[in-house]
Amino acid sequence: MIQVSDLTKDYGARRALHSISFDANQGEIVGFLGPNGAGKTTTMRILAGYMPPTDGTATVAGYDVVEESFEVRRRVGYLPETVPLYNDMTALEYLKFMADLRHIPNSRERANETLEKVNLQDRANGYIANFSKGMRQRIGLAQALIHRPEVLILDEPTIGLDPAQVVEMRSVIKEIGKDRTVLLSTHILSEAQQMCDRVLIINKGQIVAEDTPENLQSRLVGSQRVVLRVRGDADGLDAAVKKVKGTRGVEVKPDETVEFEFSSGQDVRPQVAKAVIQAGYELI
C-alpha cells in the first residue's frame, strides 16, 4: 500500500531525511517511532501529498506522491500533528465542509456517521472552539476518516491526551485499522508496541531498525546483566564463563561473585550455570 524508496528531504541546507526506504502492506498498522525532530512528520507530510521530496520516490495505493499527488490525496486520510480545525465551526459543519471538499454525496449524512465512529455524535452542534483536547483530536481523526480512505496517516494521534483519552484513542485507531493500512507516529515505545503490527525506528532522518514490537522490545532493552554467586577460588572463573557463547563483559568481584552480560534475545543462563559447575565451582 505504501512504498518508499530512498526518500530524501532537505530544508535549505539541513537534511531532514537521509534516503529512507520502507513499505507498508494492506491492512497493516505500521508505527513510526523516534524522538522529536527525527523526520517522522516530514515523511508523513510527503506521503500525504503536502510537499514533494527532494529526492527518491514514494507511492501510496499505487500512485506516485509527486506525479499523481491528486490520486494519492483522494485515497489518504491524514491527521497532522497540530490538529487542523476551524474554531468558528461546529463539529458537524466542519466535517460537512471536509466531505464537500472531497465531493462526497449526502455530505451531512456522512458527517454524522463519521461523528458516531469517533463517539462525538452528541456534540455534533457544539462549536469546536469549546472542545477539549481529546475531542479535538477525535474530530481531527474523523476528518481523516470521512472519505473512508484506503490509507490513514496519523501524526502523533495521542499526543497531549490524558491517560483515559489515550486508551480510547488507541482503541478507536485499532478498530479502524482492521481493514485499512495505517501509518502512525509516536515517540512512546509502549504505544508502538500496543498498537502496531510492525515498528520502524527513525532517528536523525534515518531508519535505524525495523521489526515486530516483540523483537524490538528485546533489541531496545539490549543486554541483560546477570550476577552469579559461587563458592570456591575465583581464579579462572571468568575464563569458564567466557567460554559460553553470547556472554560478554565478564567481571569477577572479590566477594566471589561474577557479573556478565548477554543480549536478551538469547538466554544463556542455563549454559553458564552448567559451565560454572563443570569447572568445579559451587553455584549458590
Partner 1 sequence: MRNIWTIAKREYDYYFTSPVAYVAAFLILFVLGIFFAIDLLQFQQYSFQDLSSYLNTGRETGILPFLFVFLIPALTMRLVSDENRTGTMELLLTAPVRDWELILGKWAGGFLFILTVIAVTLIYPILLNRMVDPGIDWRQLASSYLGVILLAAAFLGLGVGISAMFVNQIAAFIVSFLTFVFLYWVVGIPANLPITGGNVFSYLSMSNHFSDLSEGVINLSAVVYYSSLTFLGLFLGTLSIEVRRWR
Chain residues binding partner 1 by CB under 8 A are 11, 45, 48-52, 70, 73-74, 76, 78, 80, 82-86, 88, 97-98, 100-103, 143
Alpha carbon 243 to chain centroid, angstroms: 39
We find the least distance from the C-beta atom of residue 101 to partner 1, in angstroms, to be 5
Q: For partner 1, which is the closer residue by CB, 152 or 237?
A: 152
Give, for 117, the enclosing helix (H) or strand (E).
helix 107-117
Q: How far is the CB of 75 from partner 1 (least distance, A)?
A: 9
Nearer to partner 1 (CB atom), residue 59 or residue 247: 59
Nearer to partner 1, 79 or 207 (CB): 79
- Our CB check for partner 1 shows the closer of 86 and 221 to be 86
Tell me the closest approach of the beta carbon of residue 76 to partner 1, in angstroms. 7
CA distance 97 to 143: 10
User: Which alpha helices (H) appear in 155-254, and where do they start and end?
Assistant: 163-176, 189-195, 213-221, 237-242
Tell the smallest beta-carbon distance from residue 84 to partner 1 (Å): 4
Give me the least distance between CB of 71 and partner 1, in Å please.
8
Strands, E assignment, 61-150: 63-64, 76-79
Cα distances from 239 to residues 188, 223, 228, in angstroms, run 41, 20, 14
Q: How far is the CB of 164 from partner 1 (least distance, A)?
A: 26
Q: Rounded to whole angstroms, how far apart are CA atoms 246 and 259? A: 14
Residue indicated by cell numbers 509516536: 186
Pair type for strands 55-60 and 29-33: unpaired
Of 101 and 239, nearer to partner 1 (C-beta) is 101
Question: 229-235 contacts: CB < 8 A, separation 24 or more?
Answer: 229/256, 229/257, 229/283, 229/284, 230/256, 230/257, 230/258, 230/276, 230/281, 230/282, 230/283, 230/284, 231/256, 231/281, 231/282, 231/284, 232/256, 232/280, 232/281, 232/282, 234/258
Q: How far is the CB of 200 from partner 1 (least distance, A)?
A: 21
Whichever of 101 and 277 has its CB closer to partner 1, that residue is: 101
Q: Cβ closer to partner 1: 143 or 186?
A: 143
